[in-house]
Amino acid sequence: MESVSMVDANGAGPDSDGTPLLIKVARTDPQLPQPQPPPVPGPRPDPVEQQTVDGESNHSDKLAVHLIVSFRDICVFTLVLPLGTLFVCFVSAYVFQPEEIHETHCRVYNVIPSISAITGVSPQRYLWRISIALHIGPRIIIAFVYKNYYRALIRELNDLAQIKKATSLLRIVHGLNIVEISALCCVTYVSNKENYPVHEKVFILFMTSSLSYMLATLKLLKVLQPNGPQTTQEETSLRYKRAFFALSIASTIGLILFFLKHRFLCHDLAFSWFALCEYIVASANMGFHCTTMLDFPTEDFMIAKNANRYRKKHATISWKLD
């Protein structure tokens, strides 16, 4: 490629007086980069529609929350649902079916019906089973939340022996929690009027796993907090857990004594005292599990898209079900 310019002999430009000019031919190398014309300004691309290298939009990696519910609200729902249903079953059965709920093999005078009696008659049994079906789902979620919560606390320990002990206790706590939930489901759907032997054995399993779970939880917290609770919230939660566990032990002892009196001696009102202890045990069990509201006061249950990347970055606080 060639460019032409006109210069005189001294290298000056063209003169107006007609002086002869020399024509200088300069050859340019086609391999050298040539100046490009300035770009023509156009419309700026929309950042939302701009495509990435992978062909995905820029906002595809952003966290998209589809549902977020306060974990405290879930715990309140888990408590109020069976408690309210139990109250409805008690009142309706006591008013409309007094003979059925007070009937026992001893045929002695009773005032207070048992939980199995008021939830074993129709139509109360259907209402109770629906409430427990809705109750079980959140309970399983809470069980796995506690598993990962305690696992995160174990990672903060430095003593190897302490870590091994806490890990073993965590397995026991989680296993007992699942057994308790399963036993609650079985004792609900196998009523005492349909199959009393199975109902009785599953009820014993529920009581044993429930008390064992409470005790194992207190032992685990003692290992995880060797110097005691670090915050007022943790201290309050631990105090309530101990109180509900003590109440459960005391009422269980009374429950066993009055059951034996009713079964073998057929004392009047023995079954009523047994039923009263049973209500106290159930209330203490609900209260112990409702300390979840103190352990997770500000957490939320969330369903979101693209949460995997966040979970990997914060694995210690992940609540994934594993």
Q: Tens digit of pLDDT for each residue in 164-206?
A: 999 999 999 999 999 999 999 999 999 888 888 999 999 999 9
Residues counted in the chain: 322
Helix (H, G, I), strand (E, B) or coil at 12: coil
Q: How far apart are CA 176 and CA 217, in angstroms?
A: 10
Helix (H, G, I), strand (E, B) or coil at 37: coil
Q: Is 218 exposed, middle or buried (0-12, 13-18, 19+ CB in 10 A)?
A: middle
Return d(Cα 261, Cα 267) in angstroms, integer. 6
Per-residue pLDDT reduced to its tens digit, 132-160: 999 999 999 999 999 999 999 999 998 89
pLDDT, mean over the chain: 83
Q: What is the pLDDT of residue 126?
A: 95
In a domain, 27, yes or no: no
- Rounded distance between C-alpha atoms, residue 148 and residue 213, angstroms: 17
Q: What pLDDT is attached to residue 175?
A: 97
Q: Is the predicted pLDDT of residue 113 greater than 70, yes or no?
A: yes
Q: Express each pLDDT in 30-72 by its tens digit.
A: 555 555 666 555 555 544 444 444 444 455 678 888 889 998 9
Residue 294: φ, ψ to 5°: -85, -30
Q: Which residue has the higher pLDDT, 98 or 205?
A: 205
Would 104 be classed as within a structural domain? yes
Q: How many domains, in total, are found in the chain?
A: 1
More confident position, 18 or 90? 90
pLDDT per residue over 295-304, tens digit each? 998 888 888 8
Report the pLDDT value the prediction gives residue 110, as an integer from 0 to 100: 87
The whole-number pLDDT of residue 61 equals: 73
Show the domain range for 99. 71-305
For residue 211, being part of any structural domain is answered with: yes
More confident residue, 26 or 256: 256
Residue 147 lies in a domain: yes
167 in a domain, yes or no?
A: yes
Residue 76 domain flag = yes
- Amino acid 322: pLDDT: 44
Average pLDDT over residues 110-117: 92
By percentage, how much of the chain surpasses pLDDT 70?
A: 77
Q: For position 39, what pLDDT does the model report?
A: 58
| pLDDT tens digits for range 221-243 | 999 998 888 889 999 999 999 99
Residue 197 inside a domain? The answer is: yes
pLDDT for position 63: 80
Helix (H), strand (E) at residue 64: strand 64-70
| 22 strand-pairing partners | 7
Q: Is residue 315 part of a domain?
A: no
